[in-house]
Structure 1
Amino acid sequence: MTNRTTPFHRPLLGAITLFGAVCLASLPAQARDLPEIQDDVFQVANSGAYPPFSYVDTSGNLVGFDVDIAEALAERMGVEADIQTSPWNGIVAALAGGRFDACICSMSVTEEREKAVDFTDSYYRSGLSIWVQEGTDDVNSIDDFAGKNVGSTLGETGNQWATENGEGKWRNQTFQGLPDMLNALTTGRIDVMVADDVPVYVALNDEDIGIKQVDVGELPSWPAAIAIQKNTPELKEALNTALAEIKEDGTYQAIVDKWIGEGVEIE
């Protein structure tokens, strides 16, 4: 994906959660392929705490980019979608265990996740970004994180990156979602924030938050795709076909314009 500056990313699991997901994924009787879904309801999950991709608005409705993508895909597939929220740090385990048929939740494709679930074609790319308070001038490289409080969202790839790179160098603090982490950064509870870039760009468009992005060199990026249970080939094919259709007929770009910004390309 391309956007105002760099591509953007989404979430990974800790070793314990991932181990549980892999174990649950070994239960093929729980997997529902397309025929079973067509006879029932398409159960879709997202975190509900990742604006503008999924969040609960002031009227209590679950809305966002991924919500609209899920509804558009369900319409093309001729199925009814039941879109629900699930805590991010357990969402792979919930999917692999049969609670949901798919996670349309801006999930990055990683080798660890592929051990537990399958993925469709990607629908954008995602990458990590580094943020500090405006006026901060002592963070210009990863080395400058030393001794500081570094925030990331629990279960996200940013959390994995911060954990793997920060051991013994800086203090990691985890949060349940971007809003809480932004608040921690602006109030000084953390010094550095590791986050997906596009959601932060959108937040900055909505209000003057008083933070700035820091270029610390190349950071990881991943394709974001729809996660599904293993052994569901018909569902995977139907979702890939539906994705291609909404990209071809302009539906996809209209959703991007609505939630990310007009003229922004995220593939």
Structure 2
Amino acid sequence: MTMHKVPFHAHLRSLLYPMAGAVALLGAVTLASTPAEARDLPAIKQDVFQVANSGAYPPFSYVDTDGNLVGFDVDIARALADEMGVDVNIQSSPWNGIVAALTGGRFDACICSMSVTEEREKAVDFTDGYYMSGISIWVRGENDDISSVEDFEGKRVGSTLGETGNQWATERTDGRWRNQTFQGLPDMLNALTTGRIDVMITDDIPVYVALNEKNVDIKQVDVGELPSGPIAIAIQEDTPKLMAALNEALAEIKANGTYQEIVDEWIGEGVELN
């Protein structure tokens, strides 16, 4: 992934501050639910394509100051629906129950910057990836005391509950540091810059965008290899026609330039997401 500095966009101010009217609370992604009969593409075409995201993950999905659900994932969902020739209804859903809502039949797909994990693959199917992401470690700019995981000892480590960064931190602490959880990046970034936490563990791309858009005195710390992988669309199992249609639509919006236009709008001009 190539990152470049980009001009400030007013609609990304919410990256660094709590979102007005945010309706989703991020938590541990609950997988347990009673599976509902899956709707494949023919049934969706006769109705509306129901899509979920968290609404609390700027610039990928968030509620703007006018109360509208906007962001990269929102526009990706609309572009894919256009390619498939279906009407779409995009709603926010609490992250701690978003997979359960999908498997329970409330939604047909989660276009919500969800990373592909073995645990999630036990409950849902995933399309081809539409970008790559990984977790990253951040500290305040003046902090020269942390250069490895061993240096976390006794520190306050922040992460978003339900994200892979939180899982990583929880599995490795062994009581050596104190984990604190947050609703999303804006609150966590504020906690880091004001000294309420010492370390921030989160997905890399939203932080890169924040640094492009605002003068924030934080820096990334290389602590060795960290989890990274594809971000994909989650759908109910046993929906082969929907899977094929989504993969075909993803390929088409990448080929015709629509995907890059959405990247330019929400992530930054000159940025390429692999």
Q: Secondary structure at the match of 2:263?
A: helix
Task: Show CA shifts across 1:204-233 (max 9, x none).
Answer: 222112211111111110110000011111
Please say if residues 131 and 273 of structure 2, whose CA atoms lie closer than 8 Å, have aligned partners that are also in contact: yes
User: One-letter code of the match for 1:3?
Assistant: T
Does the CA contact (< 8 Å) of 1:13 and 1:160 recur in 2?
no
> Do 1:146 and 1:170's aligned partners in 2 also have CA atoms closer than 8 Å?
yes
* 114-123 vs 256-265, greater mean Cα deviation: 256-265
Among candidates 235, 259, 266, match of residue 252 of structure 1? 259
CA contact (8 A) 1:108 1:223 kept: yes
Instruction: Give 1:8's aligned residue.
Output: none
Q: Which residue of 2 aligns with 1:168?
A: 175
Q: 1:54, 1:65 within 8 Å by CA — same for their partners in 2? A: yes
| 1:6-45 alignment runs, 5 A limit | 14=28, 17-18=30-31, 20=32, 23-24=33-34, 27-29=35-37, 31-45=38-52
Post-superposition offset of 1:166 = 1.2
Of 116, 124, 128, the match for 1:109: 116
Q: Following the alignment from structure 1 to structure 2, what is the Cα–Cα distance between the partners of residues 189 and 94?
A: 34
Asked whether 1:185 is paired with 2:192, we answer yes
Match in the other structure for 1:49 = 56
CA distance in structure 1 between the aligned counterparts of 2:262 and 2:28, rounded to whole angstroms: 32
Q: Would you say the 8 A contact 1:14–1:160 is kept in 2?
A: no
Per the alignment, residue 83 of structure 1 pairs with 90
Following superposition of structure 1 onto structure 2, how do residues 151-230 of structure 1 map, counting pairs within 5 Å? 151-230=158-237
Which of 101, 126, 129 matches 2:133? 126
Q: State, as a whole percentage, how many aligned pairs show the same letter.
A: 75
Root-mean-square deviation (Å) = 1.6
Report the CA distance between 1:167 and its aligned residue.
Answer: 2.4
Task: Name the structure 1 match of 2:3.
Answer: 4
Q: Tell me the amino acid that sits aligned with residue 161 of structure 1.
A: W
The alignment of Structure 1 onto Structure 2 pairs a total of residues equal to 253
Q: Which residue of 1 aligns with 2:70?
A: 63
Determine helix, strand or coil for the equivalent of 1:84. Answer: strand
Counterpart CA distance in 2 for 1:90 and 1:167 is 27
Conserved 8 A contact 2:127-2:243 = yes
TM-score (norm 1): 0.91
Segments of 5+ residues of structure 1 without an aligned counterpart are 6-11
SS at 1:130's partner residue? strand
Partners of 2:262 and 2:103 lie apart in 1 by: 28
AA of the residue aligned to 2:258: T
Q: Which of 252, 259, 270 is the aligned partner of 1:263?
A: 270
| Distance (whole Å) between structure 1 residues aligned to residue 270 and residue 100 of structure 2 | 36
